[in-house]
Structure 1
């Protein structure tokens, strides 16, 4: 057994940290820390998505999250039973060559 934390706990910590960071960024934007026409910094991009001003970014984010969910779902599927696995290919013969 390993001492490493479970990936679910790690994901929960990541989401919690991102939520705190996003909340702080939104408070800074409300306080006027960024210009209203800022279009390049990630903080303003996320704030625009949250406000619904950037539907193309929202669509791209939805595609990425869908792909990530499908990948996690495929990893979480149980392995096939031993009967269902294809037979292993025989190994090719190996020639022993002595090097001085």
Structure 2
């Protein structure tokens, strides 16, 4: 049960950490820290699951090496990628 939801949690954490950071770097305030964190979680889970759906679930994990901790770190990285993308878009939209 917990193993099924763990990737979602890790992707959300990665998105919540990197989304607000990239939003601030590219566009200023964006939607505030809480708004950017929520967008980061949504983007992180979305891109992470999208990568899994098209068969790239092991792409980042294989680059980082094997083992459980590295697979968990790969889920955080995938979430960070998605959160960063959505955070960047939010920062650019808010700036205009």
**Shared fold by TM > 0.5?**
no
Tell me the TM-score range normalised by the shorter chain: 0.3 to 0.5
Higher RCO (C-alpha under 8 Å, 6+ residues apart): 2
Q: Which one has a larger percent helix, Structure 1 or Structure 2?
A: 2
State TM-score, norm by structure 2: 0.32
